[in-house]
Amino acid sequence: MAGNREEAPDYGRGVVIMDDWPGYDLSLFTYPQHYYGDLEYVLIPHGIIVDRIERLAKDIMKDIGYCDIMVLCVLKGGYKFCADLVEHLKNISRNSDRCVSMKVDFIRLKSYRNDQSMDEMQIIGGDDLSTLAGKNVLIVEDVVGTGRTMKALLSSIEKYKPNKIKVASLLVKRTPRSDGFRPDYAGFEIPNLFVVGYALDYNEYFRDLNHICVINEHGKEKYRV
C-alpha cells in the first residue's frame, strides 16, 4: 500500500494507496448485511485505520508540543476520526509528565450532493469562532478533496487570530480538481474514489460501516436523493 522512504516523514501525505491498489475482497470481512450488494471492495480495513490514527496522534503531539489544544471537529464525517484521535492524544498526555488540556468544539460543513463535490461550501451550525482567538487549534476533517472547503474554513478561522492552526485529515484524495492544499497530518492518501464507512457517508448511509469501502453504482443509485 505504501513504499518505504528514507527522508524525513511527510505528515501531509500519509500512507499512500496507489491507483492500481485492488483493495480487499468483501468476503474477508464482516460488515452490516443491509449493505450487501452496495459495495465494491474494502479499501482500508478498520484495524489499519485505528493503528494509523494512533501514529497520527504521536506525530501531532510531537509536532505541536505539550501545549493546550482546541480541537475543532468537522461534522458529520469527522466525528469518529476525531473521537479516536482525541482519545489517543489524551492517552499520550496521561503517560507524560505534563497534562495537556484538550477541548473539543464542532462545526458542520456541507460540500457534497450525492457523490459530487459542490462548488460552494455550505456551513450548517457551528459556534462562535471568535472563541478560537489566541488558541492552538487542531482542525479534524474526514476527507480533503479539492481543498476548497478547508481553505474556506481556514480563512474564516484566521480572522480571529488563533495562535496556531493545524489540520488533520483522515483521507486525502488525489483528484484533478485539487487546488494543491495539503493538511498538516494525513492518515491516508487515496485515489479519486467515493468512499464510505468509518462515519463517512453517502446521503447519511454507511456511517455504521467500520471499514472504509468503495461504494458501487448499485449502492449509489439505491441511496440517491
Task: From residue 183, give the alpha-carbon distance in Å to each of 58, 139, 144, 171, 188.
Answer: 16, 9, 8, 10, 11
Please give the Cα distance from 172 to 2 (Å, whole number): 14
Is the model's pLDDT at 1 over the cut of 50? no
Contact criterion met (CB below 8 Å) for 2 and 172 = no
Is the model's pLDDT at 60 over the cut of 70? yes
At residue 8 the predicted structure's pLDDT band, cuts being 50, 70 and 90, is: very low
What is the structure's pLDDT at 109? 76
Count of other CB atoms within 10 angstroms of residue 101 = 9
What is the structure's pLDDT at 51? 97
136-188 pLDDT, tens digit per residue, is 999 999 999 888 888 888 988 898 899 999 999 999 999 888 878 899 999 99
What is the structure's pLDDT at 112? 56
At residue 132 the predicted structure's pLDDT band, cuts being 50, 70 and 90, is: confident
Contact criterion met (CB below 8 Å) for 195 and 43 = yes
Nearest Cα to Cα of residue 190 among 208, 170, 210, 209: 170
C-alpha 136: how far from chain center = 19
> How much is the pTM?
0.85
Cell of 72: 475543532
Average pLDDT, the chain: 86
Q: Which has more pLDDT, 18 or 3? A: 18
Domain chopping of the chain, boundaries: 47-190
Please give the Cα distance from 59 to 9 (Å, whole number): 10
Hey, what CATH topology would domain 47-190 get?
Rossmann fold (3.40.50)
Q: Residue written as cell 470481512?
A: 29
Count of other CB atoms within 10 angstroms of residue 38 = 23
Count of other CB atoms within 10 angstroms of residue 70 = 21
Is the model's pLDDT at 107 over the cut of 60? yes
Q: Is the peptide bond before 76 cis (omega within 30 degrees of 0)?
A: yes
